[in-house]
Structures are given as C-alpha cells and as structure tokens.
A = this chain, B = another copy of it.
Amino acid sequence: MPVSPLAPKIIPEMPVIDGVEFATAATGTKYKGRDDVMLAKLAAGTSVAGVFTRSATRAAPVLDCEAKLGQAAGRKTAAIFVNAGNANAFTGTNGTDAVAAITKAVATATKVPQARVFTASTGVIGEPLPTDGITAALDKMVADLSPEDMAKAAAAIRTTDTFTKVATTTVDLDGTPINIAGIAKGSGMIAPDMATMLVYIFTDAAVAQAPLQRLVGRLTDKTFNAITVDGDTSTSDTLLVAATGKSGAPAINDLRGRNAKTFGDGLHAVMLDLAHQVVRDGEGATKFVEVAVTGAASPSDAKRAAMAIANSPLVKTAIAGEDPNWGRVVMAVGKSGAKADRDQLTIHFGDTLVAEKGWVSPDYTEAAGAAYMKLDNLKITVDLGMGNGVFTAWTCDFTHGYISINADYRS
C-alpha cells in the first residue's frame, strides 16, 4: 500500500519519557516480516486514564481494560500490550480466554500486577487469536525493553495504516519541562464514537488518575470524537494516557489552576495531531478536510451538522472529484436534524464566500471554487445563522481507493 499523499512531511524525533520503556517483536500472527506486537512498561505510580469505543459489541480486550481503569496507581507498575492483525473481537469465550492468557503472560514476564496490564488487539474481527506465539515472545521483549523505542512501538501496531503516527510536545510547569508524546494507529472504520483507533499517550507529568480521566474524556470530544473517515465504529477503539510523574514537576491533583491548563493544552495538541493523522491516513484519502460549523442553535446542533457534512458520501465523493458542489453541503445540513433555515445559511470554501441567503453568492464563480478544490487541505465553513453553537470536524474524501481497500480486506 503506497503511503498516503496526505502523510505529514516532517516526522518528529520521539523523546524519552522517563518511566516508560518499549519493546516490539514479530510473532507472525498475521503479518510476516514485520513487528506486530508492542509492549510498554510503565514505572511504579503511573496514572492510567482511558476512553473506549461505545460499541455495544465491544471486543474482549476493551471490556477487560474498562474493568481495570479508574483505580489510583498507588505504587504499582503497569503495562500495555498490543497485537496487530487480529482484533480478538466477536470470538466468543475464545476472546476472553485469549485476553486472560495474554495479560497473565505479560504480568509474569514484566512482574506487573495482572490487574494493571492493559491489552488491545486490532485487525480482523471474528477469527480466534492464537496466543502461543505472543506469549512465547514475551521474555525476549522484556529483555529488550528500552526507553528509546516509542517510534518502533508506533510502527508495530499498524494494520492498514500507510504511515506510522507519532506526535510530541513539551510544556513548562513551574519551570520544569514536561514531555507529552503519543502514538496511534487507525485509518478506516473511523467514526464520531472513537472508531478503529488505538492511541497511547505518555507523559512524565504527575497527574492523579481522577483528573486525568476527566481531562482525557473532555479532550476526546474535540479530537478523536470529531474525526470521521467512513462513519463506521470499531469494536476495539482504545485511548490510554499514562502519566508517570517522573519529571519532578508539581503534581496535578485537580483541573483548576494554571498548571492543569498548561498540561491540558499540551495534551490537547498531541491528541489533535494524532487525530488529524488518522484522518490523513483515511483509507484511500487524497484530501484532508476541516468542516467548521458556526452559528448553530446549540453546540450539539453544530456537531450534528458538522458530522453530517463530514460523513456524507455525496459530499465526500464531490471532494474526491474536486467538484465545489456546495449543493451537497446544503443537502447534508438539511438531513442532519440540526435546526436550519435555507435562507440563513452561509457557506465558505476556504476564504471564498460560496453561498448566502439561500442561494449562491453573486460574487462566487465556479472557476474560483474549482481552483480551491484542487488543494490537498480544504476547509468548509457553514454558518447556520441560528445561534452561537460551534463545532469543528475533520474528514477526508471518499475515493476509489477506499472501495479497493475495503472490498477485499480479508482476501
């Protein structure tokens, strides 16, 4: 699979996060000749927060992780283990058994309590996950653990991803520099409810579990829950944020105050960067599209309208065809359920005013719209003229590449 034309041009060097070590291995479960598992070992006292798919048919590893979150770290270590190629989803009791086998083997090999071993599986649904190759790889992985290998971990968790997704930033808490860095995989089955993505973010900040969990939930709404590739939702989505506290900066125990704000801004930046990369690797994507809805009657109406535009097959195929077909944007707003009035809509493509007062703008020309649509990065802004609700979503175009990838994924 060729690398997405929308892949970031500059790939950052990943920092060492004090308190986190990585190892990867090739188990041959599905992919040959590449690493397909990753292990992250987290120092004693690391807080772990997370959000998961809302699917009613969540995979076994998701159910296991959900049950384990929410406890304060105390002095306990933790571990994250991910395999790519097989989602261990809808595999009946086999699924639960596989999670138990993997978490037990990871616990034994890493000396982490089993109740603090978080796993995820990504790939094909409905095929039992063989665990022997995975458990057999663990002792060597533990021996290989290194704080340097976050980028290798990012590469190991890919499935249909055409590029490795990493993001990093630093913030300053009372003079102490804090690293926040993360990895992600995901390129299809991406929908508002945190679809087929695995995201792992690590920081050396000290943040208590409860405020970290609240912050992650809040930031997910405007990052990973604001992107869509195909409107489909995976059974396996997992986002974990681990805070080791090794930086020596003052601990964040609630979300008030300047340090919490600064840390939240940094975490938001890393989450948004990774979320955008998932869209940029959308299956078959050739255009990255920001959809900004303003002037909605409420924030939920704004989200409804933005996601209806971002998910519309007709809007997305028009973008693929570089067709400034603003009529389809009107159609999507109309079907969204958001309060709207045809004659109050204002639509911009980039800086170009396209439509207002229920009709095309007198200054708009098809030539201007068509020239804009040739860009790789597009922005569609729709003001509903109803109130103050705003929401921004990110999507990609819908191309022959998506059909090709998904019409024969299993073959």
Q: How far is the CA of A318 from the CA of B188 in the complex (A)?
A: 13
B188 pairs with A331, CB closer than 8 A: no
Contact between chains at B189 and A90 (CB < 8 Å): no
Stoichiometry, as copies per complex, reads 2
* CB <8 Å contact, B343 and A92: yes
Are A408 and B321 interface neighbours, CB within 8 A?
yes
CB of A231 within 8 A of chain B?
Answer: yes
B406 and A403 contacting across the interface, CB-CB below 8 Å:
no
User: How many residues from A make CB contacts under 8 Å with B?
Assistant: 72
Nearest Cβ in chain B — how far from A247, in angstroms? Answer: 39
For chain A, residues 229 to 261, give those with C-beta under 8 angstroms from any C-beta of chain B.
230-235
Query: Is B92's CB under 8 angstroms from A403's CB?
Result: no
Q: Which B residues are CB-close (under 8 A) to A410?
A: 323, 325
B409 adjacent to A125 (CB under 8 Å): no
Q: Please report which residues of chain A, range 295-341, place their CB below 8 angstroms from some CB of chain B when the two chains form the complex.
A: 311-314, 317-318, 320-321, 323, 325-328, 330-341
Is A80 part of the binding interface, using a Cβ–Cβ cutoff of 8 Å? no
Q: Mark A125-165, 1 if CB is under 8 A from B, else 0.
A: 11000000000000000000000000000000000000000
A interface, over-half SS: loop
With A and B bound together, what is the CA distance between A409 and B58 in angstroms?
39
Give, as a whole number of angstroms, the nearest-CB distance from A325 to chain B: 6
Q: In the complex, A343 Cα to B94 Cα: how many Å? A: 12
A residues within 8 Å of B by Cβ? 53-58, 87, 89-95, 124-126, 188-189, 191, 193, 230-235, 311-314, 317-318, 320-321, 323, 325-328, 330-343, 345, 355, 357-360, 398-400, 402-404, 406-411
Interface CB pairs A-B, < 8 A, 10: A56-B333, A92-B357, A94-B359, A126-B326, A189-B331, A232-B332, A314-B406, A317-B406, A318-B409, A325-B410
